[in-house]
Amino acid sequence: MNQPDYSKIEVYLDSNQEAIASYSPPAQMELDTSKLDDGEHTIKFVAIDTGNKRSIKKINFVVRNGPGITVYGLKDNDVVEGKLHLLLNSYGGAYMEKWEPARAETPAPIPTWTWIVFIGIVVWSMYYFIDQWSPTGSFAETPTYQNIRHEETNEANNIKTIGISGSEVYRKSCSSCHQENGQGVPNVFPPLAGNLVVNDNDPSKHIRTVLFGLQGETINGTLYNTPMPGWAEQLSNEELAAVINHERSSWGNNGRMVTPEEVRKVREEGK
């Protein structure tokens, strides 16, 4: 079968009325986009046969030869008001003999999630250091680290325990995450002040959490994914009861006090 005898193919660019090239098919063509402005373009091919019949083919394309542009502080479809402070940068190197890549680096604000992760790592490192360091010599004899035995009495609940100070246990084992004021760290470590579990008349979940740890709990509408370690291996029943009672009676909390015997039962029941 013989191929159709096309007499010529004309090439048009964008809205130009004059052809930029004309070829007898089959033909090869080179389009130099470096001479075009960046943006959207249309190239049109018009084939004309010996009977003067025409067919047209259009191809849309986008040119990106010029410098790149970055804008911080305003995005597509943003709703804004007042004065805007924008950070602008342009960079490119396709046609520059000496182009420095550093020009393409636009300084940008550090994302909020990066600060949250950083704070979490710092707080966790402090907790790990305090938990693992066993002071010796004169340090062990200071009020900061020595075991302070004292009698704690809660007359309202008629509970009397003798053990390590709950506030001391909390300061050394819990405050690096939940803070001295019981407020925790937003979105990282949950608050104990006003916590429903801490104030619940049934202390079993509170005891189980301190014994075996917890992760992925939603508290006051916020999901906390940072894992809390369990203290079953580090603290005795008496120490656990003391620190739980400290949490249940501090920062405005008013939870029922617990006994070492209650802690022992939950420990034996396991997770």
CA proximity to 183, closest of 86, 105, 81, 251: 251
Which residues are CB-contacts of 195 (< 8 A; sequence separation ≥ 6)? 219, 253
For residue 56, what are the β-bridge partners? Answer: 46
**Tell me, what DSSP letter sits at residue 111?**
P
Pinpoint the residues of the chain covered by CATH 1.10.760.10.
115-269
Report pLDDT digits (tens) over 171-207: 988 988 899 999 999 888 899 999 999 999 999 999 9
Determine the length of the chain: 271
Token digits of residue 69: 């542009």
Report the alpha-carbon distance of residue 133 to residue 32 in Å, rounded: 69
User: CB neighbours (10 Å) of residue 8?
Assistant: 15
Q: What is the mean pLDDT of the chain?
A: 80
3-class SS at 82? coil
Q: Among 66-70, 141-145, 225-229, which is the least confidently predicted range?
A: 141-145
Report pLDDT digits (tens) over 21-39: 999 988 899 999 988 988 8
User: CB neighbours (10 Å) of residue 220?
Assistant: 10
Residue 101 has pLDDT above 50, yes or no: no
**Tell me, what DSSP letter sits at residue 97?**
S
The CATH class that applies to domain 115-269 reads mainly alpha
Mean pLDDT of 220-237: 88
Report pLDDT digits (tens) over 44-65: 999 998 888 999 999 999 998 8
Q: How confident is the model at residue 149 (pLDDT cuts 50, 70, 90)?
A: very low
